[in-house]
């Protein structure tokens, strides 16, 4: 495993650093505008819709597969031994979307309900979100 760079650790980005601090505690956080209530992921301090201030919110980690792709070849550090794996866009019930791995990869389908889990990232070894499909 290669040494993580400051960028990969989010140390040079306060919003990314807040995300990884929450992930280390098994929490998924997003931003919500205090003016217009728009929800954003990744975290941000200023609303992209109205310019208002955003506050950090915690997600319940429940959602569904919005779209997905199965990766058969990967040059990403740590991921080449994980193939095949699924990268999906998850629509969280709170009203934001995020990219994450989904398991079991052989059962993924658009619209399947899923829930948040965490496991060490193959790239950094630090807890990273992934989604587990609920029973069909
Ligand atoms: Zn706003």
Domain segments of the chain: what residues? 6-133
Q: Tell me the pLDDT tens digit for each residue of 72-127.
A: 998 877 888 889 999 999 999 999 999 999 999 999 999 999 999 999 988 888 99
Ligand 1 centre to CA of 93 (Å) is 19
Segment (H or E) for 116: strand 113-120
Which strands sit side by side in the sheet containing 54-58, from one edge to the other? Answer: 39-40, 29-33, 54-58
Ligand 1 centre to CA of 8 (Å) is 28
Q: Contact at 8 Å (CB) between 108 and 68?
A: yes
Fold category of 6-133 in CATH: OB fold (Dihydrolipoamide Acetyltransferase, E2P) (2.40.50)
Ligand 1 centre to CA of 129 (Å) is 26
Ligand 1 centre to CA of 121 (Å) is 32
Ligand 1 centre to CA of 15 (Å) is 17
pTM of the predicted model, to two decimals? 0.86
Ligand 1 centre to CA of 16 (Å) is 20
Question: Following DSSP, what letter does each residue of 45-78 receive, concatenated?
Answer: SB-TTT--BEEEEE---EEEEEEEEEES---STT
Ligand 1 centre to CA of 65 (Å) is 26
Number of other CB atoms surrounding residue 16 within 10 Å: 16
Give burial (CB, 10 Å; 0-12/13-18/19+) of 107: exposed
Q: What is the DSSP letter of 132?
A: E
pLDDT of residue 135: 92
């Amino acid at each position: 495993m290669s040494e993580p760079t400051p960028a990969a650790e989010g140390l040079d980005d306060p919003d990314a650093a807040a995300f990884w601090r929450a992930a280390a505690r098994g929490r998924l956080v997003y931003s919500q505008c205090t003016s217009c209530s728009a929800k954003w992921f990744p975290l941000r301090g200023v609303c992209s819709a109205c310019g208002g201030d955003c506050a950090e919110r915690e997600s319940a980690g429940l959602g569904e597969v919005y779209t997905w792709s199965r990766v058969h070849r990967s040059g990403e550090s740590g991921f080449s031994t994980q193939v095949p794996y699924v990268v999906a866009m998850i629509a969280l019930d709170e009203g934001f979307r995020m990219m994450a791995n989904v398991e079991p990869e052989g059962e993924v389908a658009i619209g399947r309900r899923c829930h948040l889990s965490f496991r060490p990232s193959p790239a950094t070894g630090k807890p990273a979100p992934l989604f587990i499909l609920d029973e069909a």
